Amino acid sequence: MRRARWTAAAAAFAIAGMGLAPPAGAANGDLAGWHVNADNDDQLKLYFAAKDDGPRLVAFACMRDIATFGIYSEDIADIAGPRDKAVLHLSGGGVNFSAPGLIDASDTTGAPTFAAEIPIGDPQARVRLAAVLTPLLKAKGPIALSFGRAARQLPAVTGIPDPYRRFVSFCFGG
């Protein structure tokens, strides 16, 4: 398991270094709560915004066209602090997930944002990711998001079953 995490971390830094733009940014028309957004037939995002047209506090992007799973977070200055590299921690329902990535200034707002991208071209990589993220997203209680400092509490995804089901089916096939 440690080897898989290290491999995912190395790949995330390599992909981030290639300049892939995080597709997490809030868009006009985003509504508060958990939602699913399809950019095209091969990309689907599950994201949470605390208020209408607000920043996406967390976004999970399954990008099958480039065999990548992205985890992004905006509006993180209060919980991440200034740095380049960071590890995003998510926990809920007794499940913990960590994703190493990069913090950079948003192109649109200048606020710090986080991006981690994990290769999922190998079917086993997708299975391993699903084994951790599916129980986290199914947790009945809140999801804690942190970077080692203060945590931000996000409401459970299971309160809104349709976005959860659509995303898990699209990305993990189940």
Q: Please tell me the predicted confidence (pLDDT) of residue 43.
A: 92
Per-residue confidence (pLDDT) for residue 159, from 0 to 100? 61
Distance between CA 138 and CA 24 in Å, rounded? 21
Cβ atoms of 174 and 168 closer than 8 Å: yes
- Do the Cβ atoms of 138 and 90 come closer than 8 Å? no
Q: What is the pLDDT of residue 84?
A: 84
Please identify every stretch of the chain with a pLDDT value under 70, giving residue numbers as ranges.
1-28, 158-161, 174
Nearest 5°: phi and psi at 168? -65, -40
Instruction: Name 94's bridge partners.
Output: none
pLDDT score of 158? 67
- Among the listed residues 15, 128, 32, 132, the one whose alpha carbon sits nearest the alpha carbon of residue 72: 15
Q: What is the pLDDT of residue 67?
A: 92
**3-state DSSP assignment of residue 85:** strand
**Residue written as token pair 């190493």:** 100
Query: Is residue 159 packed enough to be buried (19+ CB in 10 Å), middle (13-18) or exposed (0-12)?
Result: exposed
The confidence score (pLDDT) of residue 111 equals 87
Note the pTM of the prediction, 2 decimals: 0.81
Separation of CA 98 from chain center: 10
